[in-house]
């Protein structure tokens, strides 16, 4: 078990960006959500307290099978989140406070938050054949939940439940992997920021590696079946329309993931 504490101070944009005019506020956005942001000179540093644990179990020879489980809980004091701003003459008007299907103007504020989840991984030896080599199954599952304790809203940009399942063949200097990536729909989104929900998806990847002395050659195909999907952590796609206006681009469009991609790489160790 372990305990950790981490402190992050507000940056210049979070503190000193002063304009609440939508056109100017939208230029202050490094969150990727398409919204405009106004700074807050009274922000305090956020302090995260994390309690975590690790449990590992494996076969006597450490190759037949193994399992590792790592849960964690984090409480963040003075978490730097955001709230809607708006009067008759600022932040685009009073409608900014209630809009649900457009980009809005926000101001950074300190609030309390919590994050909790787990990482689970495992490995199982499937076969060891003289002619075909060793076959192993691997699995990784990750889950994170983030909540704003002050408002009851969900935290922004939290990865939904996701898993990677793979079969790995090892024969001499060759290693071949067939991998399935599965991601659940992102339904826990920040209502304050009008965060975009994303559907679940699954991808199939193929990889091959050959190692010879100090040289390693990798080739692979990601997204073999060319599936269309939206990245849960990709934010909002604002690359269309008149980007000088906060709502001159369509709201609700996520950033697509990569289509079928071929790659190769060569590395040399010295």
The rounded distance, in Å, linking the Cα atoms of 20 and 12 is 16
Of the given ranges (15-24, 145-154, 192-201), which has the lowest mean pLDDT?
15-24
Find the domain containing 241 and state its range.
2-268
Q: Tell me: the pLDDT tens digits for 100-141?
A: 999 999 999 999 999 999 999 999 999 999 889 999 999 999
Contact (CB, 8 A) for 156 and 190: yes
Q: pLDDT (tens digit, 9 = 90+) per residue, 15-58?
A: 999 999 998 899 888 899 999 999 999 999 999 999 999 999 99
CATH of the domain at 47: 2.40.170.20
Q: What whole-number distance in Å separates Cα of residue 195 and Cα of residue 189?
A: 6
CA distance 205 to 138: 14
Specify the number of domains making up the chain: 1
């Amino acid at each position: 078990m372990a305990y950790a504490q981490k402190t992050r101070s507000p940056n210049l944009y979070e503190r000193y960006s002063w304009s609440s005019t939508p056109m100017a506020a939208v230029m202050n956005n490094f969150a990727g959500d398409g919204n405009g942001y106004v700074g807050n000179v009274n922000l305090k540093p956020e302090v995260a307290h994390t309690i975590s644990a690790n449990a590992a179990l494996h076969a006597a020879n450490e190759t037949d099978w193994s399992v590792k489980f790592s849960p964690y809980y984090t409480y963040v004091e003075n978490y730097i989140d955001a709230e809607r701003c708006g009067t008759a003459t600022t932040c685009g008007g009073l409608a900014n406070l209630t809009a649900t299907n457009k980009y809005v103007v926000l101001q950074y504020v300190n609030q309390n938050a919590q994050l909790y989840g787990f990482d689970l991984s495992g490995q199982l030896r499937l076969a060891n054949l003289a002619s075909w080599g060793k076959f192993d199954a691997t699995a990784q599952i990750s889950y994170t939940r983030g909540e704003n304790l002050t408002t009851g809203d969900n935290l922004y940009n939290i990865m939904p439940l996701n898993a990677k399942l793979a079969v790995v063949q090892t024969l001499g200097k060759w290693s071949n992997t067939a991998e399935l990536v599965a991601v659940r729909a992102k339904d826990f989104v920040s209502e304050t920021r009008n965060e975009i929900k994303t559907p679940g998806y699954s991808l199939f990847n193929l990889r091959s590696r050959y190692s010879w002395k100090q040289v390693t050659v990798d080739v692979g195909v990601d997204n073999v079946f060319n599936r269309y999907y939206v990245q849960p952590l990709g934010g909002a796609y604002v690359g269309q329309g008149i980007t000088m206006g906060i709502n001159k681009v369509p709201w609700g469009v996520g950033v697509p993931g990569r289509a079928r991609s071929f790659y190769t790489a060569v590395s040399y160790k010295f």
